[in-house]
Amino acid sequence: MAKNRKVIITCAVTGAIHTPSMSPYLPITADEIAAGALGAAEAGAAIVHLHARDPKDGRPSQEPELFAPFLKKIKAASDVVVNLTTGGAPTMLVQERVRPALQFRPEVASLNMGTMNFGLYEMLKRTKEFKFDWERPYLEGSWDRIFRNTFADIAFILESCSNNGTRFEIECYDISHLYTAAHFLERGLVKPPLFIQSVFGLRGGIGPHPEDVLHMKRTADRLFGDDYVWSVLGAGRNQMTVATLSAAVGGNVRVGLEDSLWDGPGHLARNNAAQVRRIRTILEALSLEVATPDDARQILQLKGRNNVAF
């Protein structure tokens, strides 16, 4: 009898989409981010995707000194695969965004595949009061802001990290981003197997309809054949629906408080582990096996936890 397929769960612990006033459970400090990552790993996440925040006001930050404390704690306590952002926040320059991946040489780093509208302004109506002065302008500004990821920006990140042995989580918010990934594969700046993370339901990107999800997979299959590993994330209320559909058609999944603050309708997730447990229950109900960190390393052909710089 054939073995069950192993599904990689990535958990995005905190990020640049939500602000501290939206949830009291959003990890802000290094201790909170480390605890969120370790809890997610214990619950079944093979990979943790990590941003940093200024502990004083929760503002997204790419300062390497804010990453170092939680990276050290996570590595000391777990063998989970660490994935660092090069996306940072839409307000940052690419030279700022690449710094943590360049310095810490992680096994995996995220990489956005296109310039796009990145609409967060609709979150304003869900938050009555803001704790910090930066939050409202940050959300309001997304009405007239683009998230810049030009061909030159993408090449800059790839070339800067070319000697790191880092595998990229290639984030594709629309069909065109798959073609951009194929372009960089043809140029030799990325190497197979590509780790394609398809993003659904964020304002400015592709929608979360099942046909959108299947269209993304069909296109990736045509462009990359057997040379890629597919994963998905659904923003907000779409998180579990999109993840379940992906798993059912052969993909991997991403959850976490970066992508959604919720653990069911009307209930804020108290931690990242809650979302990992929820999707793990679904995967196991589908007779799928949850991949371990070492499984993920083998599937994605990663360099190993001893070859990072933290």
pLDDT tens per residue across span 229-244: 999 999 999 999 999 9
Rounded to whole angstroms, the Cα distance separating 281 from 296 reads: 19
The answer to pTM > 0.95 is yes
The mean pLDDT value for 176-199 works out to 97
The per-residue DSSP string of 98-123 comes to THHHHHH--SEEEEE-S-EE-B-GGG
Q: 3-state DSSP call for residue 25? A: coil
The per-residue DSSP string of 238-258 comes to GHHHHHHHHHHTT-EEEESTT
Phi/psi of residue 268, each to 5°?
-70, 135
The token pair at 265 is 């309708």
pLDDT for 147-175, tens place per residue? 999 999 999 999 999 999 999 999 999 99
Q: Is the pLDDT of residue 3 over 90?
A: no
**Conformational region of residue 264, where left means phi above 0, alpha means psi within -120 to 50, and beta covers everything else:** left
pLDDT for 36-92, tens place per residue? 999 999 999 999 999 999 999 999 999 999 999 999 999 999 999 999 999 999 999
Q: Domain residue spans in the chain?
A: 6-307
Q: 3-state DSSP call for residue 11? A: strand
Computed over every residue of the chain, the mean pLDDT equals 97
pLDDT value at residue 147: 97
Pairing, β 289-290 against β 252-255: unpaired
The CB-based long-range contact list for 95-102 (8 Å cut-off, 24+ gap) reads 95/156, 96/62, 97/62, 97/157, 98/156, 98/157, 98/160, 98/161, 99/62, 99/63, 99/64, 100/52, 100/62, 100/64, 100/67, 101/157, 101/161, 101/164, 101/166, 102/160, 102/161, 102/164
Rounded to whole angstroms, the Cα distance separating 221 from 249 reads: 12
Q: Are 216 and 201 in contact, with CB atoms under 8 Å apart? A: no
The mean pLDDT value for 5-12 works out to 97
Please give the distance of CA 206 from its chain centroid, rounded to a whole number: 16
What is the CATH code for 6-307?
Answer: 3.20.20.70
Rounded to whole angstroms, the Cα distance separating 70 from 20 reads: 19
Q: What angle do CA 70, 76, 79 make, to 5 degrees?
A: 100
